[in-house]
Amino acid sequence: MLKVLVASSKGGAGKSTIATNLAAYFSVDGKNTVLVDADRQGSSLRWSEKRATNGHVVLGIPGLRRDWEKHVPPDAQRVIIDSAAGIRASDIADYLDHIDVIIVPVLPSAIDLEATEPFLHEIAELPRIKRGKVPVGIVANRLKPWTNASQMAIEEMKGFPFPVVAELRDTQGYVLANALGKSIFDYHSEVVRAHQDDWAKLLRWLKKHS
pLDDT of residue 10: 86
Q: Are 2 and 206 in contact (CB under 8 A)?
A: yes
The amino acid at 27 = S
pLDDT of residue 66: 80
Q: Is the pLDDT of residue 185 over 90?
A: yes
| Mean pLDDT (whole number) for 86-94 | 90
Each residue's pLDDT tens digit, 93-129: 989 988 999 999 999 999 999 999 999 999 999 999 9
Q: Is the pLDDT of residue 138 over 90?
A: yes
How many Cβ atoms sit within 10 Å of the Cβ of residue 6? 30
- For the chain, the average pLDDT equals 92
Question: Domain range for residue 65?
Answer: 2-208
How far is the CA of 154 from the CAs of 80, 120, 165, 183, in angstroms? 25, 15, 11, 25
Structural domain tally of the chain?
A: 1
Beta-bridge partners for 136: 102
118 versus 86: the higher-pLDDT residue is 118
Q: Is the pLDDT of residue 85 over 90?
A: no
Q: pLDDT band at residue 31, thresholds of 50, 70 and 90?
A: very high
We report the CATH number of the domain holding residue 137 as: 3.40.50.300
147-155 own/partner pairs: CB under 8 Å, 24+ apart: 149/108, 149/109, 150/108, 152/108, 153/106, 153/107, 153/108, 153/109, 153/113, 154/108
pTM for this prediction: 0.94
pLDDT of residue 166: 95
| Percent of the chain whose predicted confidence (pLDDT) is above 70 | 100
Task: Give the chain's end-to-end CA distance (angstroms, integer).
Answer: 8
The amino acid at 203 = L
Q: Is the pLDDT of residue 55 over 90?
A: no
Q: Which residues contact 134 (CB under 8 A, 6 or more apart)?
A: 96, 99, 100, 101, 102, 128
Q: pLDDT band at residue 67, thresholds of 50, 70 and 90?
A: confident
